[in-house]
A and B are shown apart, each in its own frame.
Chain A
Amino acid sequence: MSREQLTRIGLALISFGVFLGLWQAVVRLGGYPAFILPPPQAVAQRLVSLVASGTLWRHVQVTLKEILAGLALGAVTATVLGYLLAHSPLAERLLAPYIVASQSVPTVAIAPLLVIWFGTGILSKILVCALIVFFPILVNTVVGVRSVSQDLRDLMRTLQADRWQMIWMLEVPAALPTLLAGLKVGATLAVIGAVVGEFVASDRGVGYLLKQGQQLYDTPLVFVGIATLVVMAQALYGIVALAERGLLRWQKH
């Protein structure tokens, strides 16, 4: 490990320690009861018991499944549709008004409808996720594909590249930085989508744990749920960022 990395980890640990200290101080000085603001140890204990019993992992698995399936579904449809929109001015003129208008409808408001149509199971959550990641990925695909240089297109044409070569050897690699930026945004949004879906109706998942905690005034449980979501969102973002680093190595030199 390099010196720089060690310094970074050290700083992160220090700031986390300060954060816990402040939290503890607020609880002490304010004299809040645990169901309003539990002290860090209470949250830690709750976390340990949830991990030990396997409860947390069970719920994380469900939410993770929803997130990954929703992200995949949303990303694939958005990329395909974005590609078509980027290439067809007619399709863009026909569809763009609807797509833009659909963005002013908050996804949270559609979630109940999806539950009515697709049931309280995993499917409705996957669809909420897909819906919420759809737009940013669509926009990035259109921008990415449109940014491919006309000269490179002409070059490929003079070399008689076929349609697939045009897509895989030119458009995908050229648009990849923009596509991955969209996927990074989508990855964090997908976490929100899954929780929103679970809030509306569910009997499992991290969103369900949060709701349980609220109803039972089990505030440490709520804190554990929030922390779990933060870690999940960070991990997803990190995976995409890592893939980005590997795939776009040619960018930084």
Chain B
Amino acid sequence: MDSTARKSEPLLRVEGLSLSYQRGDGRLSVLEQIEFEVEEREFLALVGPSGCGKTTLLKLIAGLEQPTAGQIHLAGNPVKRPSRSVGFVFQEPTLMDWRTVEANVTLPLELNGGNRKRAREEAQTLLDLVRLTGFEDAYPAQLSGGMAQRVALARALVHDPQLLLLDEPFGALDALTRERMGRELLRIWQARRKTVVMVTHSVPEAVLLADRVLVLGPRPASIIAEVPVDLPRPRTAEMRETPACSQVARRVRDALEQVDLH
């Protein structure tokens, strides 16, 4: 076989993924035959109605839950259990209230028994990146929602995972903060170039950040549309006003509206 003709192995490959839960005497089917791939350094956005199974899908990719059928491969290896090759950011800022900002960010390294001094240096670099320099010794209770999510993002990046999973990371924030955080994430991603799968409710956010948007249908969720975002990089927040961007957003919205009609 000609190896040059073959596409290189994608970083993430999801095949025939289905999941159903036991519920009472019946079964609740949450995901049905999900299939997609994510290339290395790609930014993929997932949108879909709430309760359709987006969080569940991310947890499956992270190995936190087991599928009823199908397979997930990360960097060629089947995902069977949680692994440190993913960084996870939850919808709620999931920080440890009893740890300082810096200690929250070093947690992934501490769990691995790494060198403390190195860990603190790494944390410093990331806190600089998410613009929280000077907040090292603050406790989470002192932070705003947006700041807490930036700490969570720094923590998800500190052990340099291959894949970053973001579950509606700005969903709990007010509209203005949310927009600012979208721009921040764009800047951070352009600096780090991680492979990202992000769940979001915001179509403009998805279009601004992602290379590709997958639209999921209502539960049991399957992929009902795939919208490539052919906007040049590096992107800026101003691009949102361009016709090309509106066009992509329109396509995503159309797909979502079809979902509502079902």
Contact segment of A115-123, A147-155, A189-197, A223-231: A147-155
In the assembled complex, which residues on chain A have CB atoms less than 8 Å from the CB atom of B92?
Answer: 151
The answer to whether B90 and A155 have CB atoms under 8 Å apart is yes
How many residues on A have C-beta within 8 angstroms of the other chain's C-beta atoms? 21
In the assembled complex, B177 has its CB within 8 A of some CB on chain A: no
In the assembled complex, A93 has its CB within 8 A of some CB on chain B: no
Instruction: Give the complex CA separation of A165 and B109 in angstroms.
Output: 13
Taking chain A's interface residues, is the majority helix, strand, or loop, or is none over half, making it mixed? helix
The interface bits of chain B over 81-109 (1 if a CB of A lies within 8 angstroms of the residue's CB, else 0) are: 01110111010101011110000000110
Contact segment of A14-22, A156-164, A179-187: A156-164
The answer to whether A173 and B64 have CB atoms under 8 Å apart is no
Give the Cβ gap from B134 to chain A, nearest Cβ, in Å: 16
Interface residues on B, range: 20 to 34
In the assembled complex, A68 has its CB within 8 A of some CB on chain B: no
Q: Scan residues 50-92 of chain B and give those whose CB is less than 8 A from a CB of chain A.
A: 59, 62-64, 82-84, 86-88, 90, 92
Q: Scan residues 15-67 of chain B and give those whose CB is less than 8 A from a CB of chain A.
A: 59, 62-64
The answer to whether B141 and A160 have CB atoms under 8 Å apart is no
In the assembled complex, A251 has its CB within 8 A of some CB on chain B: yes
The answer to whether A169 and B111 have CB atoms under 8 Å apart is yes
In the assembled complex, which residues on chain A have CB atoms less than 8 Å from the CB atom of B88?
Answer: 154-155, 158
**A158, A161, A170, A174: which contacts B86 (Cβ < 8 A)?**
A158
The answer to whether B97 and A158 have CB atoms under 8 Å apart is no
- Other contacts beyond A155-B88, A174-B97, A248-B98: 8, CB < 8 A: A154-B62, A155-B94, A157-B64, A158-B82, A169-B107, A169-B111, A253-B139, A253-B141
CB within 8 Å of A: which residues of B? 59, 62-64, 82-84, 86-88, 90, 92, 94, 96-99, 107-108, 110-112, 139, 141-142, 159
CB within 8 Å of B: which residues of A? 149, 151-152, 154-161, 165, 169-170, 173-174, 176, 248, 250-251, 253
